[in-house]
Chain A
Amino acid sequence: DTAVSQTPKYLVTQMGNDKSIKCEQNLGHDTMYWYKQDSKKFLKIMFSYNNKELIINETVPNRFSPKSPDKAHLNLHINSLELGDSAVYFCASSLGTSGYEQYFGPGTRLTVT
């Protein structure tokens, strides 16, 4: 059974388009995250939700909008895609908000042309 799953795995799209990435976890965790890993391999947190409530919102353009319909799902919608948005986006989940191991999804490789 996949613990944290993301769809799609690959996404190639043109500048200016709007796209969504979906994430689901079946671990019963309360907290979910979105990370961006750029070409230099730095992994940076974007957002975190705890029980559907936004608790971390890093300095991210407001073209990025997360949505958590329930605590098992955290989606990421990106408007007006730019070349610089090309990266691997990882979803993760953890039991709680403080000091817990995070389990990562397989990543979504986004390429904006």
Chain B
Amino acid sequence: RKEVEQDPGPFNVPEGATVAFNCTYSNSASQSFFWYRQDCRKEPKLLMSVYSSGNEDGRFTAQLNRASQYISLLIRDSKLSDSATYLCVVTGAAGNKLTFGGGTRVLVKP
């Protein structure tokens, strides 16, 4: 089993719709969780950290489920500019090494 697994997609989303996807991780001792966004042929950039209590940043909501070992990302009112690959990132027990999932590709269409 891979350390961090994501549905590669693509998720084809009509503009204005809501899309949600998950990421599972194998190491129950993982300390920190993040969502990064990567545009085509660009570097990854932090979208948001994921806190135990869940957190929201504008149209984006992230949740952590430690019991089932997954994190989720929900995007409301999708914009064309949300089209990107969303990378789930998990740190190890020591918190010093990021392990990236393979990414979930989201395509928002008019």
Point out residues on A near B: beta carbons under 8 Å.
40-45, 48, 55-56, 90, 97-99, 101-107
Residue numbers in A under 8 Å from B85 (CB-CB): 41
Known: A41-B103, A104-B45, A107-B43. A98 touches B87 (CB 8 A): no
Which of B15-23, B58-66, B89-97 sits within the interface? B89-97
**B46–chain A nearest beta-carbon distance, Å:** 5
Decide if A56 touches B97 in the complex (CB within 8 Å). yes
Q: Is the CB of B102 within 8 A of A40?
A: yes
The residue of chain A having its C-beta at the shortest distance from the C-beta of B43 within the complex is: A104
On whether the beta carbons of A105 and B49 are closer than 8 Å, the reply is no
- B32 interfacial contact with A, CB 8 Å: yes
User: In residues 54-103 of chain B, which contact A (Cβ within 8 Å)?
Assistant: 85, 87, 91, 94-100, 102-103
- Residues from chain B with a CB closer than 8 A to the CB of A90 are 43-44
Interface of A is mostly: loop
A106 / chain B contacts, CB cutoff of 8 Å: 42-43
Q: Is A56's CB under 8 angstroms from B44's CB? A: no
Whether A99 lies near B97 (C-beta < 8 A) is: no
Do B44 and A101 touch across chains, with their CB atoms under 8 A apart? no
Contacts of B87 in A (CB 8 A): 43
Residues on the A chain within 8 Å of B45, using CB:
104
Please measure, in the bound complex, the distance between the C-alpha atom of A50 and the C-alpha atom of B45, giving whole angstroms: 21
Please tell me if the beta carbons of B46 and A97 are within 8 angstroms of each other in the complex.
no
Kindly state whether residue B28 has any CB partner on chain A within 8 Å.
no
Can you spell out 12 A-B residue pairs with CB atoms less than 8 angstroms apart?
A43-B87, A45-B97, A48-B97, A55-B96, A90-B43, A98-B32, A98-B94, A98-B96, A99-B31, A101-B34, A101-B46, A107-B43
Task: Give Cα distance in the complex from A105 to B42, angstroms.
Answer: 9
Complex formed: what's the CA distance from A41 to B44 in Å? 11
Whether B96 lies near A43 (C-beta < 8 A) is: no
When the two chains form their complex, are residues A48 and B43 in contact, meaning their CB atoms are under 8 A apart? no
Cβ of B99: which chain A residues have Cβ within 8 Å of it? 45
- Note all chain B residues with C-beta closer than 8 A to A105: 43
Residue of B nearest to A33 (CB): B98
